[in-house]
Amino acid sequence: MAIKSRKVTIVGSGLVGAACAYSMINQSVCDEIMMVDRTYDRAVAQALDLSHCMDFTSTRTKVYAGRLEDCRDVDVVVLTAGANPKPGQTRLDVLEEADQITRDLVSKVVAGGFNGVFVVAANPVDIVTHIVQEVSGFPRSRVIGTGTSIDSARLKTLLSEVFSIDPRSVNGYAMGEHGDSQFVAWSHVTIGGKPLLHILDQHKERFRDVNLDEIARKTKDAGWEIFTRKGNTQFGIGNALAYIVRSILNDEHRIIAVSAVLEGEYGQREVCTGVPAIIGDVGIEEVIELNLSEEELEKFNHSCNILRNAMNGLRTRNEGKSMA
């Protein structure tokens, strides 16, 4: 009996793409990984380097180089190729360059017959995810951005340090843009199942120095703290990608804060932003609508407006170019 291999293509063989592949190999996420890069030799080199991990892992993952047109029988395409902001820029500042790169990549992947799930990490990830959905014509379920998954992980890490507990005992989400307008939904953060706000209220003296605004700021700025010191982030986002891909391939139904195109959830449409969603073998199975406080909903709407305006501005500029 033939057993179908679980196949993943990683488009972009740089630091994030390589970290994603390395995480998937060590976690036995899939059976095959195809590395694709603008420079084919780099894809070949990364595939060779990664293949040399196999003697030290519990299972064997076949790793090889390929091209965008070779994705017909692939289950998941991970997009890490994009434009990196320079010092002083925000993720939104590289939008036009990212748009050009993404449109070219996605059109070639789809033309090759790909019919699986896109998982997007390229920044600005919310808008790039929206672009992928538009260019591919896929339903929103099959186009997932990493969104605030990494921000939520950073939040849990910060809280674990404050309360001296394992990060996995913290549950909560950063939401909205993976960028400057994101916010923490404090009303839904729990530690060991107990609401964080209740803990702080019951132990005012013990936790009198806990500043939620400062923790939210550190959550938002964590990526830049890394970027300004070494010029990139790779391990956290690489593992986040592996986590999302694993939930798809294993149909795990995990709830993860991802970039999703909203279709009426939270009263929003025509915008892609970070929200908790159930991730399974079809991609996004359901967007979870949290009962946000009035202040949180105001922050969410503000973030959505920023992303929507940026996307609409990009469309207007593209229309102007096509008419020129």
Tell the CATH topology of 149-311: L-2-Hydroxyisocaproate Dehydrogenase; Chain A, domain 2 (3.90.110)
Its sign, for the CA torsion 111, 8, 54, 19, is positive
Domain ranges of the chain: 7-145, 149-311
Look up residue 220 and give its two tokens: 């938002």
Cβ atoms of 126 and 272 within 8 Å: the answer is: yes
- Judge whether 42 is annotated as a binding position: yes
- Judge whether 281 is annotated as a binding position: no
Q: What is the pTM assigned to this prediction?
A: 0.94
Out of 178, 188, 198, 203, the active site residue is 178
Q: How far is it, in rounded angstroms, from Cα 33 to Cα 76?
A: 10
178 tagged catalytic: yes
DSSP bridge pairs for 203: none
Report the 10 Å Cβ neighbour count for 206: 10
Cβ atoms of 271 and 147 within 8 Å: the answer is: no
Q: How far is it, in rounded angstroms, from Cα 87 to Cα 90?
A: 8
- Judge whether 122 is annotated as a binding position: yes
| pLDDT at residue 69, rounded to an integer | 93
| pLDDT at residue 228, rounded to an integer | 87
- Judge whether 146 is annotated as a binding position: yes
| pLDDT at residue 87, rounded to an integer | 61
| pLDDT at residue 231, rounded to an integer | 86
| pLDDT at residue 240, rounded to an integer | 97
Residue 295 exposure: Cα atoms within 13 Å on the Cβ side:
5
Q: Which 3-state string (H, E, C) describes the chain?
A: CCCCCCEEEEECCCHHHHHHHHHHHHCCCCCEEEEECCCHHHHHHHHHHHHCCHHHCCCCCEEEECCHHHCCCCCEEEECCCCCCCCCCCHHHHHHHHHHHHHHHHHHHHHCCCCCEEEECCCCHHHHHHHHHHHHCCCHHHEEECCCHHHHHHHHHHHHHHHCCCHHHEECCEEECCCCCCEECHHHCEECCEEHHHHHHHCCCCCCCCCHHHHHHHHHHHHHHHHHHHCCCCHHHHHHHHHHHHHHHCCCCEEEEEEEEEECHHHCEEEEEEEEEEEECCEEEEECCCCCCHHHHHHHHHHHHHHHHHHHHHHHHHHHHHHC
Amino acid at 186: W
Tell me how far apart the 2 most distant CA atoms of the chain are, in Å. Answer: 65
Cβ atoms of 170 and 152 within 8 Å: the answer is: no
- Judge whether 113 is annotated as a binding position: no
**Nearest to residue 142, comparing CAs of 100, 109, 94, 175?**
109
DSSP bridge pairs for 184: 174
Look up residue 205 and give its two tokens: 């003296």
- Spell out the per-residue pLDDT of the chain, length 324, in tens: 556 789 999 999 999 999 999 999 999 999 999 999 999 999 999 999 999 999 999 889 999 999 999 999 999 999 998 767 666 656 667 778 888 899 999 999 999 999 999 999 999 999 999 999 999 999 999 999 999 999 999 999 999 999 999 999 999 999 999 999 999 999 999 999 999 999 999 999 999 999 999 999 999 999 989 988 998 889 999 999 999 999 999 999 999 999 999 999 999 999 999 999 999 999 999 999 999 999 999 999 999 999 999 998 888 777 767 655
Q: How far is it, in rounded angstroms, from Cα 118 to Cα 270?
A: 19
The answer to whether the 7-145 and 149-311 domains have the same CATH topology is no
* Average pLDDT of the chain, as a whole number: 93
Report the 10 Å Cβ neighbour count for 199: 17
> Which of the following CATH numbers is that of domain 7-145: 3.30.420.480, 1.10.274.50, 3.40.50.720, 3.40.50.460?
3.40.50.720
